[in-house]
């Protein structure tokens, strides 16, 4: 698959993550943990990025990481991306009272978001570890 195709897949997955994150944020009265998880560490460094960065960020991950020549480096970067997104998201979720409310009141939306996040991370792991077909591992 070409880099443009992988970017498109990542962009679409990022759009779904962003949309479900907006739903859970609830016009400012919900939890921001999914938005932070979507943007990862960049969400802390540049908070406005949490709103619109995820489609481009996930698109770039899927476009660039599989193109790395070394399978060890691809695996390394997949792990770094996963940690850089899950750690801030989990940290904010454990400290956020609105996340506890979302678990009770918006459990379906939270489940959909969680499923989308798992799918996105699985696609990243699969494509990232596999690399492009023309590479020799």
Boundaries of every domain in the chain: 3-130
- For the whole prediction, is pTM greater than 0.95? no
CA–CA gap between residue 68 and residue 71 (Å, rounded):
7
The pLDDT of 63-90, averaged and rounded, is: 93
pLDDT at 32: 85
Collapsed DSSP state (helix, strand, coil) of residue 60: helix
Q: What number of other Cβ atoms are within 10 A of residue 68's Cβ?
A: 18
Q: How confident is the model at residue 126 (pLDDT cuts 50, 70, 90)?
A: very high
User: Which stretches of the chain are DSSP H helices?
Assistant: 3-25, 33-39, 42-45, 49-52, 54-64, 71-95, 97-105, 107-130
- Segment 17-42, tens digit of pLDDT: 999 888 888 777 788 888 889 998 88
Confidence tier at 133 by pLDDT (50, 70, 90): low
Angle between helices 97-105 and 107-130 (to 10 degrees): 100
Q: Which residue is it, tokens 């399978």?
A: 71
Q: Which two tokens stand for residue 45?
A: 């460094």
**Average pLDDT of the segment spanning 32-57:** 86
| Unique residue bearing structure tokens 């798992």 | 118
């Amino acid at each position: 698959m070409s880099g443009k195709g992988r970017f498109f897949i990542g962009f679409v997955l990022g759009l779904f993550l962003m949309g479900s994150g907006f739903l859970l944020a609830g016009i400012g009265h919900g939890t921001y943990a999914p938005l932070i998880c979507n943007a990862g560490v960049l969400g802390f460094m540049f908070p406005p990025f949490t709103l619109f960065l995820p489609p481009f960020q996930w698109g770039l991950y899927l476009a660039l990481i599989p193109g790395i020549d070394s399978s060890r480096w691809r695996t390394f970067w997949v792990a770094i991306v996963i940690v850089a997104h899950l750690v801030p998201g989990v940290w904010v979720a454990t400290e956020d009272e609105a996340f506890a409310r979302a678990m009770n009141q918006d459990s379906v939306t939270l489940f959909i978001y969680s499923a989308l996040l798992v799918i996105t991370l699985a696609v990243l792991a699969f494509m990232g570890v596999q690399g492009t077909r023309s590479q020799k591992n």
